[in-house]
Amino acid sequence: MGVLFGTDGVRGLANRDVTAELALDLSVSAAHILSEVGSRRTAVVGRDPRASGEFLQAAVSAGLASAGVDVIDVGVLPTPAVAYLTKARRADLGVMLSASHNAMPDNGIKFFTADGNKLPDHVEAQIETRLRETWDRPVGDAVGRIVTDTSADGEYVSHLLTSLPVSLKGLTVVVDGANGAASHVGPLTYREAGADVIEIHCEPDGYNINHGCGSTHIEDLQKAVIEHGADLGIAHDGDADRCLAVDAEGNLVDGDQLMAIIALSLRDQGRLAKNTVVATVMANLGFKHAMQNESIEVVQTAVGDRYVLEAMMASGFVLGGEQSGHVVMTDHASTGDGILTALQVMARMSATGTSLAELAGVMQRLPQVLINVDGVDKHGVDTDPVVAAAVADAELSLAENGRVLLRKSGTESLVRVMVEAQDEHTAAAVANDLADLVRQRLSL
């Protein structure tokens, strides 16, 4: 992989790291790599509501049009909506401007292939390699046009509703839109599906995205669910490619638990291909134990929903995801989709007449401690022999009742130390010891 692209596109501080110039140049390069030269080409471009998305989307659209690509501007929509519309409109590529769960000052650029898939590493490397190369610019009627599509949100909502096997009538859900891309289409979809919807943090103003709300700050959602006596709460992140949930008692239901619920639902419907689900190495050990108890196989991948999707596509699996709430269901989507995930979980509640707490109880989470260690050479975590020996000793002491995972972040300059154990005290002690060692050995 090159320097610009991380595990989920290009991301950084808007107007410093992610500039209008970079957005324009990346779009030109992507147009040359992803679209067929010699024919009239099309791209779908969307964004989340953050203020910097306005000038970045303008730059992306300008770059694409200058390269002879017609642009369909779908405005503010979730990342999975842009992925879906790219394929549905038979476009050559899609572009999403979003920094997902990051704070408002950040932004990012994600590209999709014509099939609505995220780019593999080697294609991202090609885009970087061809940045600012000399090229033959189209003129006259060969330049691209830019049109605004006001029907895209309705088309996306209709697509989501086709995934529902039952009505959600009788369910009351509180929706935290993170003041992000799902603020409109999330509540709209759930209402169209039959649920009674209470909205919080669904009033984006360009500056308040992810600010004390959404899937990274669920405290307001927990309070609202209890105050309103709702059946559940759903928390999206800024671009709505993920969701977390809260049960009627205000307890968090994370991505592993949501995926377990959906896995059992698909299995009972005879739709869980090869009786297998795909998860990342960060999945809680309790998830693996729960699936084993239900005779469901678990395939593990590197962290990142695109790696989950690659494993799914390679073997024909239909369900995969991450603890963070990225859940991919290839029968309906080509990337993680928080609204789709929530719909499937609520459909399981409606179909079985079972509470979210009872459904989530299929899995018992092992206590998990995650420490982010910054100010270190993150690449050294893969090569330092002392760190490797300490990890091996820790894993031996935990045996089958826990595990250790050290990994460098794909989007930030830090090392993540994750430890699971039978109790919180043991997990914290092991994690702190390893984090201290990483600081000692790898400090910059």
Alpha-carbon gap, residue 361 to 340, rounded angstroms? 21
C-beta pairs of 393-397 under 8 Å, 24+ apart in sequence? 394/419, 394/430, 394/433, 394/434, 397/430
The residues, any chain, with a CB within 8 Å of residue 140's CB and separated by 6 or more, are none
Asked if 127 and 30 count as a contact pair (C-beta separation under 8 A), the reply is yes
The residues, any chain, with a CB within 8 Å of residue 83's CB and separated by 6 or more, are 94, 96, 112, 116, 117, 118, 333, 334, 335
* Catalytic choice (35, 100, 265, 334): 100
Angle between helix 121-129 and helix 20-34 axes, rounded to 10 deg: 120
Q: How many CB atoms lie under 10 A from the CB of residue 149? A: 18
Structure tokens at 371: 């420490």
Which of 325, 343, 342 minimizes the C-alpha distance to 255?
A: 325
Residue ranges of alpha helices (H) inside 362-420 are: 385-398
Q: Which residue has the tokens 């940045």?
A: 131
DSSP state of 239: T
Q: Is 409 known to be catalytic?
A: no
**Residue 77: which H helix or E strand, with range?**
none
Catalytic residues: 100
